[in-house]
Structure 1
Amino acid sequence: METIQQPGQVLLINKPLHWTSFDVVKKLRYKLKIKKIGHAGTLDPLATGLLIVCSGKMTKSINDFMGMEKEYTGSLVIGQTTASYDLETTPTDPVDITHINEGTVQNVVKSFIGLIQQTPPLHSAIKVNGKRAYELARAGEAAELKKREVEIKEFEIVAIDLPRIDFRVVCSKGTYIRSLARDVGESLGVGAYLSALCRTRIGTFKLEDALQVEEVLPPPQTLTSE
């Protein structure tokens, strides 16, 4: 295999819809002919947006990037729930939401700003007794996931057209926006699921500076056989 000899890169990638984060890494590994490459924070297949990919010596910085605060924009739908907290699974039949108004939504959203206890989704990559939680969920087994403390630094409602609510969130590492959407629905008493999500910032790195996977080209360096 031919590999490019280089000290390392930090690539800002706009992850496409329906791609896994590993799909992006796999594509870039092949395209750039680099063995040592990884991403700094998973995005769900149904999410889009900023994915930091590190290669070579820069993979040592992955944990640093993962520890940075994140910003997301997205949409949630109230009045229905799903097992995965997003559209990976089928929504339940809708319930009545005619008693919910913008003021109710704003008050609930404000209650989530600050340090909160959050339970990760059962459909997640967290390991339980050596198995991924989503594997257990798909097999019909109920995994017990522990609550974790995360920080919601900003939670802004951008638009409301019920049952849809558009929002912007700034949060600490380890925050599951799917769980946040689900918890908002629970606080409203009508349920909710995440219908769209885009990561717009990681630390000071912004989505507007990211490349599409197809735009990433091998650096102009000499190829050597390995």
Structure 2
Amino acid sequence: MMRGIFAVAKPVGITSAKVTNIIKAVLVKEALTTDPDAGKRRGSSKIKVGHGGTLDKGASGVLVIAVGEDCKRLSAFLGSDKYYECVGKLGEATDTLDMDGEVVQETAWKHVSASGLSEALRTKFTGKISQTPPVYSALKHKGKRSSDLARKGIVFTPAEREVTVYSARLMEFQPPYFTISVHCSSGTYIRSIVHDLGQSVGSAAHVSKLCRTKQGPFDLSQALSESEWTYSKICRLIEKNNDRF
């Protein structure tokens, strides 16, 4: 039975779960093609596929995928450091803290400077910080998925959590848009950082674009693009990674 770990580049517009379903369909189809009787044998075509850390539907970037028995190793990637590049927009806060939500606040932003953003990132968003996760998230609140509760109109405040931001720097400033790069611990919400950053400079902000550029040992240069999600390329990459891990 196939097993292994590799990374794909998730495109914007599909969920992480959808990606795993697509990969699984590719692998199952090949299994049935090479062995037409596989589907008749119990469990023979049930290939297990999982991912090592959810990326929001509106985000893109590195998504670690495991196949077969190596799904047991995904916990190591769930807890690994992550790197992001993010474009934020000043002057607007949304209920989801990103571009997919409804605008719930509009504020002035022309007073914000590149130096002000850089200073805030350095002094307030680097090191161990406390942040409140978005209400629209996969986290559980009293046993229920937070995003499900939020969509039902149930008002609640997620518990604050401590995370570590190893580095956060301003890469570009074209107001009202700004681009930051962040290296952080597992469990860090970039949406919350951008939201809080906007408030810290006397404005509001939400994520306009988000890309995970690295997770654990995998970066975008080692990730299969959507057009490369084929059986042969998946197998080739798994074989290559088996020599690394």
TM over 0.5: yes
Taking the aligned partners of 1:122 and 1:78, their CA distance within structure 2 comes to 20
- In the superposition, relative to structure 1, how do residues 55 and 188 fare at CA in structure 2: closer, same or farther (>3 Å)? same
* 1:189 is aligned to 2:184: no
Whichever residue aligns with residue 50 of structure 2, its letter is G
What's the counterpart of residue 168 of structure 1?
181
* 1:49 is aligned to 2:44: no
Alpha-carbon offset, residue 15 of structure 1 = 0.2
1:86-118, Cα deviation, whole Å (9 max, x unpaired): 012122463222222122111111121100001
Taking the aligned partners of 1:61 and 1:110, their CA distance within structure 2 comes to 34
TM alignment of 1:27-38, pairs within 5 A: 27-33=22-28, 35-38=47-50
TM alignment of 1:99-118, pairs within 5 A: 99-111=111-123, 112-118=125-131
Aligned pairs, how many? 215
What's the counterpart of residue 224 of structure 1?
none
What's the counterpart of residue 159 of structure 2?
146
After TM superposition, the runs of 4+ consecutive aligned structure 1 residues lying more than 6 A away are none
Q: Which has the higher helix share?
A: 2
Stretches of structure 2 lacking an aligned partner (at least 5 in a row) = 29-45, 236-245
Alpha-carbon offset, residue 147 of structure 1 = 0.7
What's the counterpart of residue 126 of structure 1?
139
Which SS does the other structure have where 1:143 is aligned?
coil
TM alignment of 1:6-17, pairs within 5 A: 6=2, 8-17=3-12
Taking the aligned partners of 2:75 and 2:164, their CA distance within structure 1 comes to 18
What's the counterpart of residue 14 of structure 2?
19
Whichever residue aligns with residue 194 of structure 2, its letter is A
Kept after mapping to 2: 8 A contact 1:28/1:213: no
Taking the aligned partners of 2:8 and 2:83, their CA distance within structure 1 comes to 15
What's the counterpart of residue 217 of structure 1?
230
* 1:64 is aligned to 2:59: no
Between the aligned residues of both structures, percent identity stands at 33
Which SS does the other structure have where 1:81 is aligned?
strand
Taking the aligned partners of 1:63 and 1:77, their CA distance within structure 2 comes to 33
Whichever residue aligns with residue 192 of structure 2, its letter is S
Q: TM-score, normalised by structure 1?
A: 0.91
The two structures, once aligned, show a CA RMSD in angstroms of: 1.4
Alpha-carbon offset, residue 189 of structure 1 = 1.9
Whichever residue aligns with residue 16 of structure 1, its letter is P
Kept after mapping to 1: 8 A contact 2:51/2:65: yes
Alpha-carbon offset, residue 157 of structure 1 = 0.6
Stretches of structure 1 lacking an aligned partner (at least 5 in a row) = 221-226
